[in-house]
């Protein structure tokens, strides 16, 4: 322990040189580590950039616009509401497993806000997904009906990551109890929700998706349009109409029925990877439980019909 002072007499010069180099290297490395630290993001980079931007301390917010009125809810305020309940979801569409959430009944959240007849609720997510909920689905009062909740991800108890994703379904998602009762569709379980807005029904709002008015009521093409609005327009636009930005337009510049065989198109809807496969693909397989064979037929005839109804460019 006596040799704490350097250079002690008699030390070879190579040792002094080695020590100098070692100290220099260690200093260099640690300086590099320090300068690299602030560049590394504190959290994984989430595809949430389109969401409302607020100072970090205030956390995520949900914006609800009905009529002239916009109300903004912070996560903390939502979790502090007296009507927060624990809800067990038998089969959560986003996670593909049973889930348990802290949630506010959607009807309680929207209390006092009047949605006009003919309007629907559009639920927009930060990843470009945009769900359409008919108002009777949300406001219907049948005894046997599906009941929507706004699930809230507590900041101190984050939800699990979504399957094959690096993010959770939070901060807010719409989940349903008893989804079969009102035939709630798979694309009516929006997650990463940022905004709920009452808007005109699709026919009124988007003339560009309209079918030929001469088609008889009950024509499969009309039925196909209704399915398309809920199950496809959550991610796709058509003739530029729609608010989703997650997937491409399905009629401009070309309609898939113009370049895919019907078999390939059906296969793609059932399992997109059957057609093309790459790590970043976003479209999920749609099994028969999400879209029956009959409904898929209807969607295909609707798409074919719309290929002839593309606005001139």
First to last CA, the chain: 87
**Beta pairing partners, 93:** none
- Under the binding rule (CB under 6 A), the answer on residue 242 touching ligand HEC is no
Q: Which of 147, 174, 269, 301 binds ligand HEC (CB under 6 A)?
A: 269
CA distance 72 to 70: 7
Residue 243 CB contacts under 8 Å (≥ 6 apart), including other chains: 122, 124, 130, 237
Residue range at the interface with ligand HEC (CB under 6 A); choices 13-21, 113-121, 139-147, 279-287 = 279-287
Q: What tokens were used for 302?
A: 């609707």
- Under the binding rule (CB under 6 A), the answer on residue 221 touching ligand HEC is no
Residue 170 CB contacts under 8 Å (≥ 6 apart), including other chains: 60, 152, 153, 158, 159, 191, 192
- Under the binding rule (CB under 6 A), the answer on residue 229 touching ligand HEC is no
- Based on CB atoms, which residue is closest to ligand HEC, 131 or 147? 131
One DSSP character per residue, 257-291 reads HHHS-HHHHHHHHH-GGGT---TT--PPP--TTTS
- Based on CB atoms, which residue is closest to ligand HEC, 103 or 286? 286
Query: Among residue numbers 181 through 220, which ones bind ligand HEC (CB under 6 A)?
Result: 187
Q: What tokens were used for 127?
A: 């990843």
Q: Which of 147, 291, 301, 306 binds ligand HEC (CB under 6 A)?
A: 291
- Under the binding rule (CB under 6 A), the answer on residue 268 touching ligand HEC is yes
Sheet containing 172-177: order of strands: 85-92, 97-105, 147-152, 172-177
The answer to whether 296 touches 269, Cβ cutoff 8 Å, is yes
**H helix runs in 88-134, sequence order:** 106-109
CA distance 80 to 77: 5
Q: Which of 48, 205, 272, 309 binds ligand HEC (CB under 6 A)?
A: 272
- Under the binding rule (CB under 6 A), the answer on residue 266 touching ligand HEC is no
Residue range at the interface with ligand HEC (CB under 6 A); choices 37-45, 116-124, 196-204, 267-275 = 267-275
Q: Which of 110, 235, 238, 301 binds ligand HEC (CB under 6 A)?
A: 235
The separation between CA 289 and the C-alpha centre of its own chain, rounded to angstroms, equals: 20
- Encoded one letter per residue, x for contact with ligand HEC by CB under 6 A and - for no contact, window 148-187 reads ---------------------------------------x
Residue range at the interface with ligand HEC (CB under 6 A); choices 41-49, 52-60, 158-166, 233-241 = 233-241
- Based on CB atoms, which residue is closest to ligand HEC, 73 or 302? 302
- 3-class DSSP assignment, residue 228: helix
- Under the binding rule (CB under 6 A), the answer on residue 304 touching ligand HEC is no
Cα dihedral 55, 113, 182, 235, rounded to 10, equals -40
- Based on CB atoms, which residue is closest to ligand HEC, 62 or 296? 296
- Based on CB atoms, which residue is closest to ligand HEC, 203 or 262? 262
- Based on CB atoms, which residue is closest to ligand HEC, 137 or 296? 296
Q: At its nearest, how many Å lie between ligand HEC and the CB of residue 284?
A: 6
CA quadruple 208, 211, 214, 216: dihedral sign: negative
Q: Which residues make up the interface to ligand HEC (CB under 6 A)?
A: 187, 231-232, 234-236, 246-248, 250, 256, 265, 268-269, 272, 281-284, 286, 291, 299
């Amino acid at each position: 322990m006596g040799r704490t002072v350097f250079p002690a007499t008699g030390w070879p010069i190579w040792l002094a040189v080695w020590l100098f180099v070692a100290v220099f290297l260690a200093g260099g490395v640690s300086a590099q580590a320090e300068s690299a630290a602030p560049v590394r993001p504190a959290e994984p980079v989430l595809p949430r950039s389109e969401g409302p931007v607020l100072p970090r301390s205030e956390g995520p917010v949900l914006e609800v616009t009905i009529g002239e009125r916009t109300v903004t809810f912070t996560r903390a305020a939502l979790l502090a509401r007296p009507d927060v309940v624990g809800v067990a979801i038998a089969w959560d569409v986003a996670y593909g497993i049973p889930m348990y959430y802290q949630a506010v009944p959607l009807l309680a959240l929207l209390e006092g806000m009047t949605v006009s007849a003919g309007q629907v609720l559009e639920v927009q997510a930060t990843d470009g997904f945009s769900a359409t909920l008919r108002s009777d689905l949300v406001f219907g009062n049948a005894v046997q009906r599906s009941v929507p909740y706004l699930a809230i991800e507590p900041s101190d108890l984050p939800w699990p990551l979504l399957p094959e994703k690096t993010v959770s379904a939070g901060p807010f998602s719409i989940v349903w109890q008893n989804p079969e009762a009102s035939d709630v569709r798979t694309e009516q379980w929006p997650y990463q929700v940022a905004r709920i807005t009452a808007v005109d029904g699709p026919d009124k709002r988007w003339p560009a998706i309209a079918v030929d008015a001469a088609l008889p009521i009950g024509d499969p093409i009309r039925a196909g349009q209704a399915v398309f609005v809920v199950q496809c327009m959550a991610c796709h636009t058509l003739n530029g109409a729609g608010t989703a930005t997650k997937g491409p337009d399905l009629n401009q510049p070309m309609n898939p029925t113009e370049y895919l065989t019907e078999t390939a198109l059906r296969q793609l809807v059932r399992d997109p990877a059957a057609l093309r496969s790459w790590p970043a693909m976003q479209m999920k397989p749609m099994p028969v439980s999400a879209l029956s064979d009959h409904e898929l037929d209807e969607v295909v005839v609707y798409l074919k019909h719309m290929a002839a109804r593309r606005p001139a460019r």
